[in-house]
Amino acid sequence: MFQAITNLSVKLVKSYLPSPFVFCIILTVAVFAAAMILTDQSILTAAKFWGDGLWSLLGFSMQMALILVTGHVLAKAPIVGRFLDNIAAKVKSPKQAIVAVTVVALIGCWLNWGFGLIVGAVFAKSLARKVQGVDYPLLVASAYSGFLIWHGGLSGSIPLALATEGADLVRISGETITAAIPVSQTLFSPLNLFIVFGLLIGLPIVNMLMLPKEPTIADPAKLSEALPVLPPTNTPAQKLDDNRLMALLIVAMGAIYLFGHFANNGFNLALNIVIGLFLFAGILAHKTPERYSRAIEDSAKGIAGIVLLFPFYGGIMGLMMGSADGGQSLAGMISNGFVAISNQETFPMLAFLSAGLVNVFVPSGGGQWAVQGPIMLPAGVQLGVEPVVSAMAIAWGDAWTNMIQPFWALPLLGIVGLDARSIMGYCLIALAYSGVLICGAFFFLA
């Protein structure tokens, strides 16, 4: 029965899910029309919100491009490739491979979402090279499913925002929170730990049960990590380009910077720090500037989806968050709609579901917090729900529907050489399992 449902999900997605670009266009047109009809915006006003939003993710787009390229290049270094292949060689069966990549991705994304996303993709490729008969699309989908846990982990933007004192916290919480809330009450609360362990234990089993009887074996060309061809070192300039001392000098500067960061801030893996770790470790692993530059050129082919799609998702965010004078935004209307049908018992669960719906259109944890926090937290307080519970419901909702949103899969797909249709059928099953788990947690434990 379970396998039949999985097969149906995979078949439907492959037949009817459009490409990520067309999916984004459909979302844009639908949200543009909804903004005009539901929030009384003129076509020019809606177009302005959309146009201004197009450029709102440019900095973040560059971060995502860098984390994809630097992470992939680090994985292509011979010493790292051998290390991953040695670990993968200890996995003896397709079932073990699915479980292993899911657990690694979950733990990696709990530590830091950017780190986990890339490590999961790279480990999936290593497993595909070593384990005979493993289904490659499911292997990659299992790696991506680890991303479900990120907003309940150490890099979750909402728990970290709650732990940061300041005027922004008071404003976004609708003045329901006036002092910082430590992570002991969010990330390490019994509610959050229940969800985390529920995913850590249950998700690998769910993914393993989806193994098809007739696996799709990876194309060897997608798994190869051939080193770039280097030019001859016949001139002083070419010898300098391929000189290890040049690499060591810049790596030493990076090491000093990173040491200072961790000494002053503790184990704070902000996204830029993760990129820096990938960057300097990659230079060190490739040994010379010339070899690292050539590897970067080869890996940069994978950022096409980010370059193309992220501006359009910024436009969708602009439409969702924009409002006519004195009116509500679309995101606000969705939030208020869920509030209207809530009571004290159902509010945390419905806050989670509303956040999941908003996340389809606003795939940014920080952006979603800014939109929903001022609405959901005061409404929860009026119903007798603690603000921290409402905030964590928004956080988990933001993570949940990433399983049906190809936005965050783009860096991973760029590394593994697959398209969204190949993995989203499996991700729907992960969405269903995690949705039941998280809904149950917020209904019975919140």
Task: Report the share of the chain in percent with pLDDT over 90.
Answer: 49
pLDDT band at 226 (very low <50, low <70, confident <90, very high): low
Sort residue 35 into left (φ over 0), alpha (ψ -120 to 50) or beta.
Answer: alpha
Average pLDDT, the chain: 89
SS (H, E, C) the chain: CHHHHHHHHHHHHHHHCCCHHHHHHHHHHHHHHHHHHHCCCCHHHHHHHHHHHCCCCHHHHHHHHHHHHHHHHHHHCHHHHHHHHHHHCCCCCHHHHHHHHHHHHHHHHHHCHHHHHHHHHHHHHHHHHHCCCCCHHHHHHHHHHHHHHHHHCCCCHHHHHHCCCCHHHHHHCCCCCCCCCCHHHCCCCHHHHHHHHHHHHHHHHHHHHCCCCCCCCCCHHHHCCCCCCCCCCCCHHHHHHCCHHHHHHHHHHHHHHHHHHHHHHCCCCCHHHHHHHHHHHHHHHHCCHHHHHHHHHHHHHHHHHHHHHHHHHHHHHHHHHCCCCCCCCHHHHHHHHHHHCCCCCCHHHHHHHHHHHHHHHCCCHHHHHHHHHHHHHHHHHHHCCCHHHHHHHHHHHHHHHHHHCCCCCHHHHHHHCCCHHHHHHHHHHHHHHHHHHHHHHHHHCC
Alpha helices in 19-135 (DSSP H): 20-38, 43-53, 58-76, 78-88, 94-111, 113-130
Of 178, 175, 187, 179, the C-alpha closest to 375 is 175
Most confident of 133-147, 239-253, 281-295: 133-147
Instruction: Please write the tens of the pLDDT for every residue from 242-288.
Output: 889 999 999 999 999 999 988 888 777 677 888 898 899 999 999 99
Tokens read off for 312: 């359009």
pLDDT at 60: 80
pLDDT band at 192 (very low <50, low <70, confident <90, very high): very high
Residue 325 has pLDDT above 80, yes or no: no
56, 320 contact by CB (below 8 A): no
pLDDT at 227: 61
Residue 299 has pLDDT above 70, yes or no: yes
Please state the pTM of the whole predicted model.
0.86
**Mean predicted confidence (pLDDT) in 166-175:** 87
Residue 208 has pLDDT above 90, yes or no: yes
Residue 78 has pLDDT above 90, yes or no: no
pLDDT at 28: 94
pLDDT band at 328 (very low <50, low <70, confident <90, very high): confident
Residue 225 has pLDDT above 70, yes or no: no
pLDDT band at 228 (very low <50, low <70, confident <90, very high): low
Task: Report the share of the chain in percent with pLDDT over 70.
Answer: 98
Cα gap 105→115, rounded to integer Å = 9
pLDDT at 309: 86
**Mean predicted confidence (pLDDT) in 180-184:** 90
pLDDT at 184: 92
**Mean predicted confidence (pLDDT) in 343-358:** 95
pLDDT band at 64 (very low <50, low <70, confident <90, very high): confident
pLDDT at 370: 82
pLDDT at 61: 85
pLDDT at 411: 83
pLDDT at 1: 76
Instruction: Please write the tens of the pLDDT for every residue from 366-416.
Output: 778 888 988 899 999 999 999 999 999 999 999 999 999 888 888 888 889
**Mean predicted confidence (pLDDT) in 140-152:** 96
pLDDT band at 232 (very low <50, low <70, confident <90, very high): confident
